[in-house]
Amino acid sequence: MPRTANIQLKLLLQAAGWGPTQFAAALRNVAAEQGLTLVVHLTTVRRWLEGTQPRPPLPALILECLSRRLDRRITAHEAGLTRAPAQLVDPAWEADPMRKLIHLAQTELDPHRRALLGAGVLTATALALPAQGQIPAAPDGPGHSGRRLAERDLERLRTMASVFAASADQHGGQHVRAALAAYLTHEVSPLLHRPARTQVHHGLRAATARLALLLGSMSADSGHHAVAQHYHQIAARLAADADDPTTLAIALRTMATHAHDLGRHTPAVVNLAERADRHARHAPPAVRAYTHVHLAVLNAHHNRHAAVNALVRAELLHAEDSAEPGPFSSYPVGALHYQRAQVFATLKDHTGALTALTTSLRLRTSAERLPAALTRARLAETHLRLGHLEPALTHWHAFLDAYPTLRSVRADQRLTAAVQHLRPHQRRAGVTDLLDRITELTSPPR
Q: What is the pLDDT of residues 229-277, one digit of tens each?
A: 889 999 999 999 899 999 999 999 999 999 999 888 888 889 899 999 9
Which tens digit of pLDDT belongs to each residue from 14-23?
Answer: 999 999 999 9
Distances (CA, A) of 296 to 65, 122, 281, 306, 356: 29, 24, 16, 7, 14
Q: Look at 22 and 139; give whichever has higher pLDDT.
A: 22
Exposed / middle / buried, residue 131 (Cβ in 10 Å: 0-12, 13-18, 19+): exposed
Local confidence band at 126 (pLDDT 50, 70, 90 cut-offs):
low
Q: What is the rounded average pLDDT of the residues 49-54?
A: 87
Q: State the pLDDT at residue 87.
A: 44
Q: Look at 4 and 359; give whichever has higher pLDDT.
A: 359
End-to-end CA distance of the chain: 50
Local confidence band at 402 (pLDDT 50, 70, 90 cut-offs):
very high
Four-point Cα dihedral 94, 102, 172, 237, nearest 10: 30
Distance CA 61, CA 74 (A): 11
Is residue 208 within 8 A of residue 189, CB to CB? The reply is: no
- The amino acid occupying position 14 is Q
Q: State the pLDDT at residue 1.
A: 45
* Residue 208 reports pLDDT greater than 80: yes
Distance CA 276, CA 248 (A): 7
- The mean pLDDT of the chain is 87
Contacts of 337 (CB under 8 A, 6+ apart): 356, 357, 359, 360, 363
Q: State the pLDDT at residue 94.
A: 54
Q: What is the rounded average pLDDT of the residues 336-342?
A: 97
Q: What is the rounded average pLDDT of the residues 124-131?
A: 59
